[in-house]
A and B are shown apart, each in its own frame.
Chain A
Amino acid sequence: MGYTQRIRKALISLVSLGCLAAGMTAMPAQADDTPTRNLIIHYYRSTLDVNGTADNGFCVTDPCGIYDGWNIWLWNTGGVSDSSGNNGFNFDAVGDKFGAKATIPVSLTATRVGFLVRIGSNWGWAKQDVPDDRFAALKPTGDTEIWLKQNDPVIYTSNPNDRVLRIHYNRASNDYAGWDVQSQAANAADDKAIPFSTKSDCFGRVAEISVPDITQPTQDYILRKGGDSPSLKSHVFTATLSDKKYSDVWINANLFLGEDITVDEPSGTYLDLTQQDLNPNGNLIAVHYNRPLQDYTGWNLKTLADGVAHPFKVSDDFGKIGCSYLVDRTATSTVIKIMKGANADLFKGESPAGLGGQRTISVKGPVTEVWLKQGNPTVYEKLIVPDPAIQSAQHVAPIASSLKRGASLTLPAVTSAKLKISWFALTPAVCSIKSGKLTGKSAGQCKLNASQTGSVAFKVFTAQYRIQVK
């Protein structure tokens, strides 16, 4: 075999093995048409950039739009959309309600795509948004969607401009069947029916309308009954949206002689509703409270300012919800305790007197929602996972099975959980217990009970021992 032949043979084997390897690993990708996923970049600008004007040639329309000339320089896409020496990836001609949008194909093997949002082409560019290189971490499978805001280095994984209008609706009759909120077609929140929550937020039921368009100052909606059927009772409202995540409106249905006034818009009659931008009762404090063993009977939310005990009336997946109102709308914090009669839900090492079990809640405006766990001083401001309802088992060190008359043995004082054991001799004629010691009194079977009532973390422990006194 000559030198050339050997090379050719080695090459053939390499190529065939390589093909085999590539074929085996790439097979699933081919079946799904490579590439199978996208990096979707949403980009929001609020100002026209001077470098993006028609003067420098990047902008082709007159007047220039705020997105004109901006494109995305890409690398680490797995070779699918890399920009090296090219003009970068252009945003779609039509964006979405957030702003500009680009759907960038990336390879299945790409994990961390580098990018710059910039004005310019090839290796030279006039301006870039945010000075540093940026990287989008891709989800292990499927498309990855990110949101960027002008001059903001944060890579958002959900729409940061999404605002929520909360419509709190109170009906004295507590009858919410058939009621919903229809967002107006002309608005950013789209034309859709939004149902009210099935549970009360203490004022009434709540419908949440998501408003993704940051430029929208108001939201029009229809409060209605009967859906799209012709007999609907409806009323059109406008709510002002704040620049915060949540905006609230509070609507009281004033019932006239126990009946709603039928709405018939063309004839000018209307449902007697009053809409307020503030909860008429004061700022709402909603306390979600979890007791792992679900033993809520008798426990109340006590507001220390007025000394009123509010029952936990409503349940959710976390536990129970108790509500109180802060009449003083300027208050920035309020102090509460969770009480059952004279007992408070205490934290480790606290005594029931004075400050024991006291929690301070910082007030977030018209609605403050917090999550509390039994025996835990932390006031959580986001929904958290409740403690498991499972208590760990306790056990006790083994004790002797026989004992001589007149002799004693020391009984274990605590369980494996370091909780105190209560001992009881059921056959006092045969054996007795004093100062943690068991003494055999007369011959026979000594029956002995051990009990430990448990805690939030530990299950009750009981055991019966039979010890032969000889």
Chain B
Amino acid sequence: MKSKKLGLVAALAAGAVIATLTGAPAASAASANITMWVDLDRASAFQSWARIYNRTHPSTVVNVVGKDGLKDKLATVADADAPDIIIGAHDWIGPLKSSNMILPVTIANAGKFDARDKSAFSLRGATYGIPLTVENVALFTNLNLVKKAPSTFAELETDAKTFLKKHSKAKFALAVSPGDAYHMYPLFSGLGGYIFGGSSGNWNVNDLGIANAKFKKNAGLIDKWYAENLINSNVTGDTALAAFTSNQAPFYITGPWNLDKIRLKNINYDISAFPTIVKGFKPVPFYGVQGAMLTKWSGPDKHNVKFQTNAVLADLTTKPTQLLLANATIRTPANLDARKAFKDVDSAAFFAAGQGAVTMPQILEMGTVWSPVANAWSQVKQNKSALKRFEAAQQTIYTSIHK
């Protein structure tokens, strides 16, 4: 009898050993809070996703925080409040990598992504983001003012002239801010301009194309556009939007981020690719990929949530997640299965207009480009010759890179 009792105690003690052993791995994969920063425009979409993710992953709580200007806020945020994952454009990786804010990631389901979208997030052989959605600008035509979207640049100019004649108070016909090199890129590439030689993930900073010989041949057209009031150097992003949505300009260069504002004004619009300006040069926009980046705070010396963030990043690559995000943000998804299933007429039009687009250079040197090129477009008062302005811009950029 006595021995029986002891046997039971021994069995209990053995049970305790097993419990201790099986308990150990569970402790290492303990529950965790993941903080994700998203810009205010996309925050609701990611919150909808997080609600589903948190329900299906009880050990992880993803807190989606809407942040304005989130890239700049990374520099000053306290460790405790810092995000583990940020959602942003692929061209952030150059500056963020150089300040050691982000960590390399592995793209799960990599076969389901375009090489173009994957290369957007790669820098010197490493990948720094999960492609989520893609975006680019396109040409909007106000069908209340013009019968149809122009199929040639000559048609666009004729429509513009007719419009300006009819509307004597209008100061331009193509609503776009010349002081914004990103939005001006279709016109720039349509004249033969490029920023760096090479290709995405492999840019050659020694090959600057801002004032290349072919572009220089066509730069005189810019002076002509100003002269005929097709574009106006005083236009800003806000005035361009206001002009298009108040029927004060028949053409507008913008991206999907302004769809809500245009639709709210009940403008009958058409979205199309930019028509060819000079034979041999397809006017293409910059191509941007929005993605999820892993921050340094997820690492073992900070929040130590790499195990959980890897699971989150893997989920973000899947078709259902990408489709949900695409529908909620009206952007084409990066996952090819989701892209097939995504049915939105406007997004399809944007995507078509982005065929052949140039992936925005994600290297740090791109930071030296924006301002000089914007100035070359817009500072017509300083120098009336576009050719001279673009030559000066190229010189400035060369000096900045090689100083």
Interface residues of A (CB under 8 A from B): 3, 6-7, 10-11, 13-14, 17-18, 20-21, 24-25, 293-294, 388-393, 424, 426-427, 447, 449, 451, 453, 459-460, 462-464, 466
Taking a contact as CB atoms closer than 8 A, the residue among B7, B17, B268 that contacts A24 in the complex is B17
Among the 9-residue stretches B224-232, B257-265, B276-284, B292-300, the one with 4 or more Cβ atoms under 8 Å from chain A is B257-265
A14-B7 Cα distance, complex, nearest whole Å: 8
Residue B44, interface by CB 8 Å: yes
Q: Beyond A10-B6, A21-B17, is A462–B345 a contact (Cβ under 8 Å)?
A: no
Q: Beyond A449-B266, A462-B263, is A393–B345 a contact (Cβ under 8 Å)?
A: no
Residue B253, interface by CB 8 Å: no
The 8 A CB mask of B336-348 against A (1 = contact, 0 = none) is: 0000000001100
Taking CB atoms, residues of chain A closer than 8 Å to B6 are: 7, 10-11, 14
Q: A25, B20: Cβ atoms under 8 Å? A: yes
Q: B45, A18: Cβ atoms under 8 Å? A: no
Across the A-B interface, the 3 shortest Cβ-Cβ residue pairs: A462-B263, A426-B268, A10-B6
Q: How many residues on chain B are close to A (CB under 8 Å)?
A: 32
A459-B66 Cα distance, complex, nearest whole Å: 13
A21-B346 Cα distance, complex, nearest whole Å: 64
Residue B10, interface by CB 8 Å: yes
Q: B10, A21: Cβ atoms under 8 Å? A: no
Residue B48, interface by CB 8 Å: yes
A342-B393 Cα distance, complex, nearest whole Å: 50
Taking CB atoms, residues of chain A closer than 8 Å to B76 are: none
Residue B40, interface by CB 8 Å: yes
Taking CB atoms, residues of chain A closer than 8 Å to B65 are: 388
Taking CB atoms, residues of chain A closer than 8 Å to B45 are: 393
Q: A24, B328: Cβ atoms under 8 Å? A: no
Taking CB atoms, residues of chain B closer than 8 Å to A388 are: 47, 65-66
Q: A464, B20: Cβ atoms under 8 Å? A: no
Cβ of A455 to closest chain B Cβ, rounded Å: 12
Taking a contact as CB atoms closer than 8 A, the residue among A6, A393, A447 that contacts B44 in the complex is A393
Q: B260, A460: Cβ atoms under 8 Å? A: yes
Q: B20, A24: Cβ atoms under 8 Å? A: yes
The 8 A CB mask of B41-52 against A (1 = contact, 0 = none) is: 001110110000
Cβ of A200 to closest chain B Cβ, rounded Å: 21
Q: A393, B3: Cβ atoms under 8 Å? A: no
Cβ of A451 to closest chain B Cβ, rounded Å: 5
Q: A14, B263: Cβ atoms under 8 Å? A: no
Residue B126, interface by CB 8 Å: no
Taking CB atoms, residues of chain A closer than 8 Å to B268 are: 426-427, 447
Cβ of A327 to closest chain B Cβ, rounded Å: 38
Residue B2, interface by CB 8 Å: yes
Q: B264, A13: Cβ atoms under 8 Å? A: no
Residue B170, interface by CB 8 Å: no
Q: B17, A17: Cβ atoms under 8 Å? A: yes
Cβ of B324 to closest chain A Cβ, rounded Å: 10
Cβ of A400 to closest chain B Cβ, rounded Å: 15
The 8 A CB mask of B16-27 against A (1 = contact, 0 = none) is: 110011000000
Residue B14, interface by CB 8 Å: yes
Residue B9, interface by CB 8 Å: yes
Q: A389, B2: Cβ atoms under 8 Å? A: no
Taking CB atoms, residues of chain A closer than 8 Å to B17 are: 17, 20-21, 24
Q: A10, B20: Cβ atoms under 8 Å? A: no
Q: Beyond A10-B6, A389-B43, A460-B264, is A24–B21 a contact (Cβ under 8 Å)?
A: yes
A463-B65 Cα distance, complex, nearest whole Å: 26
Q: Beyond A24-B21, A392-B47, A449-B266, is A466–B345 a contact (Cβ under 8 Å)?
A: yes
Taking a contact as CB atoms closer than 8 A, the residue among A10, A390, A449, A463 that contacts B10 in the complex is A10
A392-B47 Cα distance, complex, nearest whole Å: 8
Q: B346, A459: Cβ atoms under 8 Å? A: no
A239-B68 Cα distance, complex, nearest whole Å: 43
Q: Beyond A10-B6, A389-B40, A392-B44, is A464–B328 a contact (Cβ under 8 Å)?
A: no
Taking a contact as CB atoms closer than 8 A, the residue among B10, B20, B66, B345 that contacts A14 in the complex is B10
Taking CB atoms, residues of chain B closer than 8 Å to A11 are: 6
Taking CB atoms, residues of chain A closer than 8 Å to B16 are: 17, 21
A24-B17 Cα distance, complex, nearest whole Å: 8
Q: B3, A462: Cβ atoms under 8 Å? A: no
Look across to chain B and name the residue whose beta carbon is closest to the beta carbon of A13.
Answer: B10
In the assembled complex, 13 residue pairs joining A and B whose CB atoms fall closer than 8 Å, in A order, are A6-B3, A14-B6, A14-B10, A17-B17, A18-B13, A20-B17, A24-B20, A389-B40, A389-B66, A392-B47, A451-B263, A464-B346, A466-B345
Taking a contact as CB atoms closer than 8 A, the residue among B44, B64, B66, B259 that contacts A462 in the complex is B259
A291-B346 Cα distance, complex, nearest whole Å: 32
Taking CB atoms, residues of chain B closer than 8 Å to A21 are: 13, 16-17, 20
Q: A17, B40: Cβ atoms under 8 Å? A: no
Q: A462, B13: Cβ atoms under 8 Å? A: no
Taking CB atoms, residues of chain A closer than 8 Å to B43 are: 389-391
Cβ of A268 to closest chain B Cβ, rounded Å: 45
Taking CB atoms, residues of chain B closer than 8 Å to A17 are: 10, 13-14, 16-17
Cβ of A304 to closest chain B Cβ, rounded Å: 33
Q: Beyond A14-B6, A18-B13, A447-B268, is A390–B47 a contact (Cβ under 8 Å)?
A: yes
Taking CB atoms, residues of chain A closer than 8 Å to B346 are: 464
Cβ of A263 to closest chain B Cβ, rounded Å: 35
